[in-house]
Structure 1
Amino acid sequence: MTTRDLSTTEKFYSAVLGWDWRSGKLGEQYRFASVGGVPVAGVSAVEAMAQQAFAWTPFFAVSNADETAARSQERGGTTAVGPISFPPGRAALLADRDGAVFGVWEGELVADWEEWRRVAPVFVELHTRDAFDAAIFYAEVLGWASKAEGCCEVHYENERVVLRSRADTVVAHIHSGAVDSARDPAMRPHWQIHFSVADVAACIEAARDHGGSLVQEARDVGEAVLSDPDGARFVVNSQTAE
């Protein structure tokens, strides 16, 4: 995620999600967040620009960022930035065929992906116009449902595409409504980040106390969409993804 003010961002997410922060090899303008020693996110400071939208962007680990970007373009995706070097890795910012933005990262992250998936308090969800088309795009670009080491399995459950790790942990959802429902031409496809928390109400209160806001709350499912001081939206969820 990008932000105008690292200090404000650190205080906000520490209060709302209990994150700890550290600097890494990318310099003082880039900070890493973790919970209980488990890495969760990276945040970089950028100069504010007129009408700039700040948002959370999911990054997917790949073995080769250049080849992944090329596969995306071959399948109708676009490349916004990169691939460029960020020691100790290489990254690119891409968009799928419907315009949903995502990133790819080649390089050092975590030693054990299955362990990370088991304990990391996060999963991602793609809201798009055609879940099946999106699933095919990402499977071809990122190697989902392949025999590659560390890949995920793709399933169709409860009218949405569900991505599960080999350890059967849900890591992503893709949905566009019921199979027989009409597509919504006004919907802007996007990835949404979900953070698992113990107390949604406490997160809402902390967000308001630290310059954020409540965008939407769904009391029956223990979930709320929040906005940070820069306007970046994310979801807090008291239930494990299924």
Structure 2
Amino acid sequence: MTPGAPCWVELSTKDPIAARTFYHELFGWRTEPIPVEKAMGYTRLYAGDQLVAGLVGLAKPEQPTAWNISFYSPDVDATAEKITAGGGSLIVPPRDAFDWGRFIVARDPGGAVFCGWQPLTLRGCDVMNEPGALGWVELATRDPKGATEFYPLVFGWSVTIGEMYAQFGLGGRDFGGMMDMADQFPAEVPPYWMPYFAVADVDLSAERAALLGATVTLPPTDVPDGPRLAVLRDPQGAVFGIHVAYPES
């Protein structure tokens, strides 16, 4: 596992039961609730036998329904110090999650929320970039310059700046990107991180998601020099993307 790389993705939702049904119907995910009262109904999600994500109810009524992305940290306490030194802030300071691992929830200087994960028994996603699994992560921000300074400081990422899009990488391999929200989003939409899940067929998956009650916010689109993708909002309001699975090079 590469330090700084995305390693886990988790849905916090106002209706866990409906969400489990939606994602099972869309991706075929098998659900496995944790039978511990203190876990508050935490559910692990599997594509076949491969652990791919987690799902939990909202911790507070004011918490938004959203997908949350965790980046691997061998030492979240040290990562927390880098975050505050770089101008970010901690929403949840370093904390143990049972014997699963240690985590933080943070906000970057532009306002986007992300997590750090130091694994113990829960190492993270078993597989990436296969149908039904996490394949890409994307930051939408109104402060791209600040993000290109902050994340390399915290996680050691490389940043490749393109005309319309920037890409984040580690060890010569890109794993995510950054979009300038600029005037493309209403002022009330906060900066955010969003996961993309790999699928065999973007068009069929987007169509199925709509039939299941999702909103297609970006119809299936071919990205120049990139995969075919779409962006969806699930029936509870969590935004995520899908893209066609492609083999790792």
Which range, TM-score by smaller chain? 0.7 to 0.9
- 8 Å CA contact 1:21, 1:34 repeated in 2: yes
2:204 matches 1:202: yes
How far 1:238 moved relative to its partner?
Answer: 2.3
Partner residue in 2 for 1:147 = none
- Runs of 4+ aligned residues of structure 1 deviating over 6 Å after TM superposition are 181-185
Distance 1:230 1:214, change over 3 A: same
**In structure 1, what residue type is equivalent to 2:21?**
K
In 1, distance between residues paired with 2:210 and 2:185? 32
Distance 1:205 1:48, change over 3 A: farther
In 2, distance between residues paired with 1:117 and 1:176? 26
Partner residue in 1 for 2:167 = 162
In 1, distance between residues paired with 2:119 and 2:63? 29
In 2, distance between residues paired with 1:185 and 1:46? 25
Percent of paired sites with the same residue: 30
The alignment yields a C-alpha RMSD, in angstroms, of 3.2
Partner residue in 1 for 2:243 = 237
Residues 52-94 of structure 1: per-residue CA shift (max 9 Å, x gap): 4211111111011122112111111011112211022111110
**In structure 2, what residue type is equivalent to 1:174?**
M
Partner residue in 2 for 1:43 = 55
Counterpart of 2:27 (choices 8, 17, 23) is: 17
2:137 matches 1:124: yes
Unaligned runs of 5+ in 2: 1-10
Distance 1:93 1:118, change over 3 A: same
Partner residue in 2 for 1:192 = 194
Partner residue in 2 for 1:171 = 175
Distance 1:216 1:158, change over 3 A: same
Greater mean alpha carbon deviation, residues 2-11 or residues 127-136: 127-136
- Relative to the length of structure 2, the TM-score reads 0.76
How far 1:185 moved relative to its partner?
Answer: 9.7
2:86 matches 1:75: yes
Counterpart of 1:86 (choices 78, 94, 97) is: 97
- 8 Å CA contact 1:118, 1:169 repeated in 2: no
Unaligned runs of 5+ in 1: 145-152
2:46 matches 1:34: yes
- Count of paired positions: 227
Residues 153-172 of structure 1: per-residue CA shift (max 9 Å, x gap): 54345553323344x54311
- Relative to the length of structure 1, the TM-score reads 0.78
